[in-house]
Structure 1
Amino acid sequence: MKLRDGHIHSPYCPHGSKDSFTRYIERAIELGYDEISFMEHAPLPKSFTDPTPDKDSGMKMDHLEQYFYDLSDLKKAYKKDLAIQTGLEVDFIKGFETETASFLTEYGKELDDSILSVHFLLKDGIYDCMDFSHQVFKRMITRYGSSDSIHEAYYQTVLDSIMADLGSFKPKRIGHITLARKFQLKYPFAKSHSHLIDAILKAVQETGSELDYNGAGAVKPYCREVYPSEDIVAKAVHMGIPLVYGSDAHQADDLNQGREQLILPSDLS
């Protein structure tokens, strides 16, 4: 089976390691990968205030052209050994759909691959980076009323992202749809939220989208499962929804993480 990692970050990630592109690429070749997609966090909308302490959730806009240039050179240098795709992980932020669509219209032609993800949730005019830390999640529980309420808000926002009109360059792959479970062992949820998860899967199917089969959750100490979990993956496969493994690596040593937890590898990209 062709080995593909569709979700890798890079030295341009302001909250990741400074491992070079070459370090990531050589590691992928060492592991036997045939194709990888660099999916750096896209610059956030200019008018959006990043709620994280260091305001480092996305790459700087003035680094974007150099990111594209570097990858263009690397594709040529490694074309005999590895297929390298230029990608971005684009944040869906409620209230910033117009700015996101404009960004994609301007830069989408530079992309071979892309992911649409939810990290920020909006409640009462306040944005939180839901997966930033368990401390942030705990504070959100106080504001939202329960862990389940955060999960519900997250799944609803993911559903909104799938249905949003972001133009012709809208990413076709939806990122880590169960990211709300990142702290599940510390802050358990009581409900299945299956009605929203099923609605997400239906929307993914109807829009011809794909799912990011994300290994990062498997190594998170309060999660210990890939995003999405086995039961959801089984439903997705039954519905004919394509899944693309992504390590979500933020350093070269993260490549291949969580892959041993994947199910039905013969049905995966």
Structure 2
Amino acid sequence: MKRDGHIHSPYCPHGSSDSFIQYIEKAISHNFTDITFTEHAPLPKNFNDPTPQKDSGMNPDDLMPYLEELQRLQKQYAQDIRIRIGLEVDYIQGFEQETRQFLTTYGHFLDDAILSVHFLQCEDTFVCIDFSPECFIDFSKKVGSVEQVYDLYYDTVLQSIRSELGPYKPKRIGHPTLIHKFQLAHKEKINDASRIKEVLDIMKRKGYELDLNSAGLSKQYCQEPYPPFDFIHYSQAIELPYVFGSDAHSADDLHQHHNVILPI
């Protein structure tokens, strides 16, 4: 099985308008047998998206059309490729009840899902931690240091793993070292190896999967996958289940670096 389990879609408000068919046909042409579309789920209604364009999550009005279009395409391409219907769901501290209710309502439509941390909280303010280098650096000053932001991120990922989000809670944890995205911009070398191992060990112990995410290799200020190669090897050593994910937001990015992450 050749699988890409983290793919966005034309329903992504901050992605491209490439059609589902462009993604699907490319996956088939590259001999992938199993793909999951994991569009950003709508954010909780009472959560104020801190990004300038308020475009971190899918428009709630688009959710059912997204699901219905994928149901149709599953049938259309059933002989050529397995298409899984999924979502990338944000874990947002303090909004667990809203997230649980969302999953209770829509989880039965899903074949697959990812639980990710993009938003961190300091006092009464949230920030999208992967939005821009400037945003990251400003937030680190508010929190106290870059190292403290790293710790806050890993603490929040651990909270996401331990959170009670109901029977449809995603079982795959998205890009668990996303906090490295701007490491070459802030230029501080943070020794977070023990924190990464802590996250991976708890994922293994609690029966979660790892989103083995290649997107960081294409990010100007990251230049490594999520998690880095040493921790891909560690995940394999502890037999933590993983699923490759290109985190593609356009058809061009689909399956990016697959042969680097998982050489034949």
The answer to whether 1:224 aligns with 2:216 is no
Equivalent residues of 2:171, 2:208 under 8 A apart: yes
- 1:124 corresponds in structure 2 to 123
Instruction: Could you list the structure 1 runs, at least 4 aligned residues long, displaced by more than 6 angstroms after superposition.
Output: none
Which segment is superposed worse, 249-258 or 109-118?
249-258
How far did 1:194 drift?
Answer: 2.7
- 1:76 corresponds in structure 2 to 75
Which segment is superposed worse, 228-237 or 205-214?
228-237
Equivalent residues of 1:148, 1:190 under 8 A apart: no
Counterparts of 1:2-41 in structure 2, within 5 Å, are 2-41=1-40
Equivalent residues of 2:183, 2:189 under 8 A apart: no
1:21 and 1:151 mapped to 2: Cα distance? 35
1:55 and 1:181 mapped to 2: Cα distance? 23
1:241 and 1:188 mapped to 2: Cα distance? 31
Equivalent residues of 2:12, 2:57 under 8 A apart: yes
How far did 1:258 drift?
Answer: 2.3
- 2:184 corresponds in structure 1 to 185
Paired-residue identity, %: 51
- 1:233 corresponds in structure 2 to 232
TM-score, scaled to structure 2: 0.97
Q: Write the letter of the residue equivalent to 2:244.
A: Y
Q: Write the letter of the residue equivalent to 2:174.
A: G
Equivalent residues of 1:163, 1:203 under 8 A apart: no
Counterparts of 1:57-206 in structure 2, within 5 Å, are 57-206=56-205
How far did 1:230 drift?
Answer: 1.1
TM-score, scaled to structure 1: 0.95
Q: Secondary structure at the match of 1:227?
A: coil
Which segment is superposed worse, 254-263 or 130-139?
254-263
Equivalent residues of 1:147, 1:188 under 8 A apart: no
Count of aligned pairs between the two proteins:
264
1:79 and 1:189 mapped to 2: Cα distance? 48
1:190 and 1:30 mapped to 2: Cα distance? 40
1:208 and 1:237 mapped to 2: Cα distance? 14
Q: Secondary structure at the match of 2:181?
A: helix
How far did 1:203 drift?
Answer: 1.3
How far did 1:166 drift?
Answer: 0.5
